[in-house]
Amino acid sequence: MPDWPHAPPHKTLKPGTYMVTAGTLHKKRLLDTPEKLSLVTGRLLSVLPESGWSILAWAVLSNHYHVVISQSTTPESIGKAIRRIHGASAHELNLLDSTPKRRVWYQFWDSQITFLKSYFARLQYVNENPVHHGLVARAVDYPWCSAGWYEQRVDAAFRKRLAAFKTDRVRVVDDFD
């Protein structure tokens, strides 16, 4: 079946690990306060596990987010989970901004991670995304990404291994500067 020409193809059909990126409509910086960033982060961290997904890394910025997730039973559920996240967060963001019916989210892109090196590089990429976008000097200082969580809860040897992976060749939809 050919890909739909107006949206990215979603091929989350096999169990495994995926990287998902979603952006706001027209790349507008709608998540412009700590409250809004926390709202979207909270939705990601609650809805994805409720939908059977394990969250491995996340970063929420003013006009997009990245998340690395894994699932072994119903990978096709990602679309439904993302729609729940986007629907609920858009409603709440619109209430905060007094902008009823404003469209907040544009699309999401997903890709299965099939190689171990790609897995580590993407974890590192997501954790370091706030640094990549110039928001902080150290990712652990950005509260809306998993870098601080890794710093507190993940073995130092694993963090050191991740840090060794270069992310300059990681192909991710991330033109949200």
Give, for 19, the enclosing helix (H) or strand (E). strand 16-24
Q: What is the pLDDT of residue 77?
A: 85
Q: What is the pLDDT of residue 169?
A: 63
Does residue 70 fall inside a structural domain?
A: yes
Do the domain assignments include residue 52? yes
The residue type found at 126 is V
Residue 145 within any structural domain of the chain: yes
Alpha helix ranges (H) inside the chain: 34-50, 78-97, 116-127, 129-132, 147-153, 156-163
Per-residue model confidence as pLDDT tens digits over 102-117: 999 998 988 889 888 8
Q: How many domains are contained in the chain? A: 1
Does residue 168 lie within any of the structural domains? no
CB 142 within 8 A of CB 130: yes
pLDDT confidence of residue 131: 94
Q: pTM (2 decimals)? A: 0.87
152 domain-assigned: yes
- On whether residue 149 sits in a domain, the answer given is yes
| Position 175 in a domain | no
- The pLDDT value given to residue 11: 55
Judge whether 45 lies within some domain.
yes
What pLDDT score was predicted for residue 62? 97
Question: How many H-runs (helices) and E-runs (strands) does the chain carry?
Answer: 6, 4
Q: What's residue 107's pLDDT?
A: 87
Query: What is the extent of the structural domain holding 49?
Result: 16-163
In the predicted model, residues of the chain with pLDDT beneath 70 are 1-13, 167-177
What pLDDT, on a 0 to 100 scale, did the predictor assign at position 149?
95
User: The domain spanning residue 27 has which CATH number?
Assistant: 3.30.70.1290
